[in-house]
Amino acid sequence: MPNNTEEQSCYRTSIGGQAVMEGVMMRNPVGKTALAVRGADKQIVIEDVDVPPVTAWYKKTPFVRGVFNFIDMMGLGYKCLMRSADLAGFEEEESEFEKKLRQKLGKHYETLFQGTVLLFSFILTFGLFAFLPTFLVTQLKDYVSHTFILTVIEGCTKIAIFLIYLSAISVMSDIKRVYQYHGAEHKTIACYEHGDELTVENVRKYTRFHPRCGTSFLVIVLIISILMFSVVSWGNIWLRVGLKLLLLPVVMGITYEIIKLAGRCDNAFTRFISAPGLWTQRLTTREPDDEMIEVAIAAMKAVLPQDNSRVEW
């Protein structure tokens, strides 16, 4: 993290982003979103991403906005990820079934495909982080009777599965590069927050860890869930899993506000709550090379005001 002198001069911005295939997506507080990708010809391609403005009350109300904004970011992130693969020149040959399905569904094919992927992702996430830990810990009920202790064991099991999953996928070459672009995104945002000119040399010196990160969000969700789910009965595994799903929006709403607070303020409390997420980012970020930093800078500049005014909280 930056030293105290840097922190005192730090501008707090709500510009955020996401690493994609060979690129970075950036989004500013008013919704302007840009995707910058290093194409197969090594040139940087920049595209504006059409995102509806945030006007609904439930997307601006504290403790309510977290769930809806998370869902929006999931959809936007997937859209940018697929588009980045096209811009980067990654081509995957369609099967005969996919070709026939695309011909039959026409423009609805992409919607169906995205919905299927998101549904599969939800089922996989539910199985790994909701059902499996609860099932495993249920086997200990004959030996451990205290509800809170069972919940802590369940939470630690979730965290262990999460860390193992992150470590396992990090050995994939494509994922390694995405993690490097993730580091470039964080370093570029940090450079902007500290008021430095957005150059490769300036960006390079900043940390690749940032408190406003999706990794930190997920880690805090896991930690908050330990406290929240300690009141949920262990009497029936399906009842417990069902109640946990009902409480999940509450957990996400609280976590979203914590992440915003950690990004806005720097004090002993926010450093304490940010520490687990920043540590986990050692798995989900890597040091980028200069070409990756150039892409992140291009994405950042594309969402900054034309009058060079700063985007702050």
The pLDDT profile of the chain, 313 residues, written as one tens digit per residue, is 444 334 434 556 778 999 999 999 999 888 799 999 999 999 999 999 988 877 788 888 899 998 998 888 888 998 899 899 999 988 666 667 667 777 777 777 777 877 787 788 888 888 888 899 999 999 998 888 888 899 999 999 999 999 999 999 998 999 999 999 999 999 999 999 999 999 999 999 999 999 999 999 999 999 999 888 888 888 888 999 899 889 999 999 999 999 988 888 888 999 999 999 999 999 999 999 999 999 999 999 999 987 666 665 4
Tokens 């030996």 sit at which residue? 143
Does 308 fall in a domain? no
Sign, Cα dihedral of 106, 112, 117, 120: negative
Containing structural domain, residue 108: 4-303
Task: Report the Cα 75 to chain-centroid distance in Å.
Answer: 12
Sign, Cα dihedral of 277, 261, 51, 70: positive
- Whole-angstrom Cα distance, residue 23 to residue 181? 6
In this prediction, residue 136 carries a pLDDT of 93
- Total structural domains within the chain: 1
Task: Report the Cα 124 to chain-centroid distance in Å.
Answer: 17
Q: What is the 3-state secondary structure of the chain?
A: CCCHHHHHCCCCCCCEEEEECCEEEEECCCCCEEEEEECCCCCEEEEEECCCCCCCHHHCCCCCHHHHHHHHHHHHHHHHHHHHHHHCCCCCCCCHHHHHHHHHHCCHHHHHHHHHHHHHHHHHHHHHHHHHHHHHHHCCCCCCCCHHHHHHHHHHHHHHHHHHHHHHHCCCHHHHHHHHHHHHHHHHHHHHHCCCCCCHHHHHCCCCCCCCCHHHHHHHHHHHHHHHHHHCCCCCHHHHHHHHHHHHHHHHHHHHHHHHHHHHCCCHHHHHHHHHHHHHHHHHCCCCCHHHHHHHHHHHHHHCCCCCCCCCC
Q: What residues contact residue 240 under an 8 Å CB cut-off, 6+ apart?
A: 134, 229, 232, 233, 234
Does 309 fall in a domain? no
Residue positions counted in the chain: 313
In this prediction, residue 2 carries a pLDDT of 42
For residue range 30-81, list pLDDT tens digits in order.
879 999 999 999 999 999 998 887 778 888 889 999 899 888 888 899 889 9
